[in-house]
Structure 1
């Protein structure tokens, strides 16, 4: 933003200090003068003796001395104010330098202002914290963009290869080609829709309304019941009413993703999924737990990263687009909630989503 030039803060503080000192000195001299006038005493002789004189000699006797004192206060105020303002604003200069460095693209720069806690140190520490979060966010976005480009390039490359084969071999049966193209195109569409959903949730561009997580859990379970039966997985549900505030569509997507993952990444046969909802003071809880292979804590901690797939995810026919739990994490964060992943000692994983509880409606 273009702004007209103005006085620096240091100069403003200097003038303020000097002006305040001048006003205080003027008031003090005025008080002394009034006192001397009331008493009728002024120094008028060359010997410096004090004697009682008429008040009309005040200007000749006291005013020159007051003028000298005021000039001294002015010079002292300007010089002292300039030095004091410089020392006081030194941390601000360091913060300004850091801001300009960051504006040029160096997000790794930190102020690290030394000294005890005060307003400037608090500002510097807050700025450093903001920079750390911003740097992490930018790195995450860059990594996400690179992974998304890689994931989108794969189906496009497969499509190009299939079309090149069909062009060079016109006698090849088209039925198999069409089926493979359909599968690849479906995967690309699913990935694109997942990316759009992730962006929408991350930007929090959604309307908020009262939502019952228990009803969403029932809906997601009923929708995915055929898939569970196909994989020989039993789903058990239980829970209480869990009112919260948020986007019903996004929270339904969150619940569906969790149940879907629990079904797909389960035991080869006779697996189980437990879906429960509960209410705690100030929060509502959705828990999805499933049987499965034993997972290392190091692997579990990375499953919410975009395009991160565990060993089982890669070697199944339902590898997905690698955004299921990343979407869950983003939706949870957009609703000011927390997501916790815990490996089960018997195999499988327990995923817990905690969201702020809705304030009960009151009748008026």
Structure 2
């Protein structure tokens, strides 16, 4: 049976049960106290002079049967209409689900009416569809960009090999060096894609991590690159405990610091790394000097393969996934990445993560 038919029968059964209770009440508290024979003084015998119990039962039974039939019909018809009205939002949700199953994620339910459970369900479903649509668009764009980025080193390799094949007497040392550089770039890109996929899947074990120690570790790792680029790194702040993956959070911080180094001033640049504790979260902020950035450009820097062509770049620039990986790792830890351009020039990147509970710090 359909849900509508089940609800209809349930409504009808409830009405019938209510009618039965009323009839029972009438019998228990009225008819049963009417005697079978009514004695009237002075009538000269046991001749009933007023309606007795049998008379009342005969008079009461036909209307009672009619009332029961009416209640049954009313319960079935009214229950069918009421069930249809209540299930109408579910039909709209079912229609939207089928459209989503066929690949159409742009449809929304937009259920009207008061905020009851069905309205909450429809709104939650609309929110889910919006997130799925956004995720699908991002995945399509990411796949297209990744294919393009991976095709580039392969195309360069093919060209170099074709040139070497057409000129066998050419010195191969330069060819080997260029192939090594292209292959290294392809490996770096592949590793970045794997790291990004790992962060998106949240396939890691959480442990207590101090962001201030993470910042120091990332700074020590990239200090030679900073000195080579003429960039000064300064760290400060409080102990900032959180729960997460130490390798991923170290990668997050390393990417932020590396990005601040390679997109800094050509000489005498500066980087400030600070950690801060809020009531329910911890912050790590990486600021760097550099050229002034337009807000429209800053808004795209965390997207995959968006390197920001207006920024100062060096030979140590990455594959265009640095900030995208930072954003993905932050989201995998229930955190956020906020990018803002500094008025003096450069970029300010702030990652906010949930603070570790007190018992996790012991």
What TM-score bracket applies, with the shorter chain setting the length?
A: over 0.9
1-structure distance, mates of 2:361, 2:144: 52
Q: State the match for 2:267 in structure 1.
A: 269
2:330 alignment partner, SS class: helix
Q: TM-score, normalised by structure 1?
A: 0.92
2:359 alignment partner, SS class: coil
2-structure distance, mates of 1:279, 1:51: 95
Equivalent of 1:103 in 94, 101, 104:
101
Q: State the match for 2:40 in structure 1.
A: none
Q: State the match for 2:321 in structure 1.
A: 323
Equivalent of 1:146 in 141, 144, 158:
144
Q: TM-score, normalised by structure 2?
A: 0.92
Change in CA separation of 1:363 and 1:101 when aligned onto 2, cut-off 3 Å: closer
2:282 alignment partner, SS class: strand
Q: State the match for 1:284 in structure 2.
A: 282
Q: State the match for 2:237 in structure 1.
A: 239
1-structure distance, mates of 2:278, 2:84: 54
- 1:45-124 equivalent positions in 2, closer than 5 A: 52-55=50-53, 60-124=58-122
1-structure distance, mates of 2:138, 2:50: 85
Deviation at 1:31, TM superposition (A): 1.1
2-structure distance, mates of 1:260, 1:52: 107
2-structure distance, mates of 1:308, 1:207: 30
Q: Which runs of 5+ in 2 are unaligned?
A: 37-47
Q: State the match for 1:4 in structure 2.
A: none
Deviation at 1:9, TM superposition (A): 1.0
Deviation at 1:30, TM superposition (A): 1.4
Deviation at 1:33, TM superposition (A): 2.1
For these two proteins, the number of residue pairs brought into alignment is 351
Contact 1:241/1:278, CA 8 A, preserved across alignment: yes
1-structure distance, mates of 2:31, 2:294: 92
Contact 1:338/1:354, CA 8 A, preserved across alignment: yes
2-structure distance, mates of 1:41, 1:33: 13
Contact 1:291/1:349, CA 8 A, preserved across alignment: yes
2:286 alignment partner, SS class: strand
The alignment yields a C-alpha RMSD, in angstroms, of: 2.0
2-structure distance, mates of 1:22, 1:183: 84
1-structure distance, mates of 2:202, 2:361: 30
Q: Which runs of 5+ in 1 are unaligned?
A: 1-6, 43-49
